[in-house]
Structure 1
């Protein structure tokens, strides 16, 4: 086997890819079911994001460690079985230690199994890279997913209820109580934002904002490259 297959990609590129360039929600637009369903509050988004990140990290690392022993003809069923097992463990752990969060997230925990981002990273990255690089990729993708859910949930919660990270001490544990705050008076809240239409509106605006920022960064990079070429000549 060639050494190029075992050589991990650049660390900065992996982190940037997961957090920004190929952000699961805002870039690839994957996992839309939990994104729309659980982001009525930042607390729910944080819980769902962290659960998904755990699955991404562990599944990526495990798949990278067995990639040389799994035949190409059966790799997809093997990946799915492994991911399903991990999701079952996460589901059981949440039910045991974070039962209130488990009740809020409900079936969407089990649906991590069919989240295209998880299987996609297993096939596109973990099956071709080292364990360390794959674990980092899972961490970056999971963080990007979590940040998107928290930002989206935070916007909807602030505008819809006037609070931020409400009930964090109940859903995530007493040590998360410091996150809870009231941002707007209750009278200033807009119920529309925590209803499904508010979720679609918030997601659309976030995707548009990311694309606008990305276009600006690319234009600046192109201008900088052009200036450097002129100076070099």
Structure 2
């Protein structure tokens, strides 16, 4: 039951972006489109889960003095593999994400979970934590990108990352005359982030109040 709760906490209650405020830089930068959010989210899930598993496996033989450099080497290797695969099979996605794929190496979420969880728990629990936190990050970037793309373009456009000419979903919600171009800019990213973070904070406060009421 604790494992299920830990996994669920990563989605909303302990969401790495809206609750722990980690990885905000890449979140604000890549949420201009849903395609970018999906690509970045999947990459973070893979790297976070695999790095947690590997670090958990070697945690008992890794000296404390060099644990951070070891973590960085493991994460950098995984990120390099992911980047090479994206370059080979989804060049358009690689071009749109740009430098933010390599920057996963120093993403606070990856290093934070390696230090605070994977280095102290078993392989299965670490894998579950990585998946939960990765899904929480993906949920955060997807929610921001949907809001920003809809308000700035008036619709939703999702293409095949392996073939950008193939449109998966092209949905127009309202005329272009009513779009708010501000949400396609960095200012719109900050506004969207602030509103969603406030909503998650209010939800957490509501949950805490319910728990206190039960204790009484």
RMSD: 1.7
- 1:168 aligned residue (143, 148, 159): 159
1:19 — aligned with what?
A: 11
Q: Structure 1 residues 156 and 172, CA, compared in 2 at 3 Å: closer, same or farther?
A: farther
Whether 1:81 and 2:73 are equivalent positions in the alignment is yes
Unaligned runs of 5+ in 1: 1-8, 227-233
- 2:108 aligned residue (113, 116, 129): 116
Aligned residue pairs total 216
Does the aligned pair in 2 maintain the 1:160–1:190 contact within 8 Å? yes
TM, length-normalised to structure 1: 0.88
- The structure with more radius of gyration: 1
After superposition, give the CA deviation of every residue in 1:155-185 in whole Å (9 maximum; x if it has no partner).
0000110122x2422x3557x8444422222
Looking at secondary structure, tell me which structure has more helix per residue.
1
- 1:54 aligned residue (1, 25, 46): 46
Looking at secondary structure, tell me which structure has more strand per residue.
2
Aligned-pair CA distance for 1:77: 0.7
2:96 — aligned with what?
A: 104
After superposition, give the CA deviation of every residue in 1:94-124 in whole Å (9 maximum; x if it has no partner).
0001111000000000000010110110111
Does the aligned pair in 1 maintain the 2:158–2:169 contact within 8 Å? no
- 2:183 aligned residue (193, 202, 210): 193
Q: Structure 1 residues 196 and 145, CA, compared in 2 at 3 Å: closer, same or farther?
A: same
- 2:28 aligned residue (28, 31, 36): 36
User: SS of 1:135's equivalent?
Assistant: helix
Aligned-pair CA distance for 1:221: 2.1
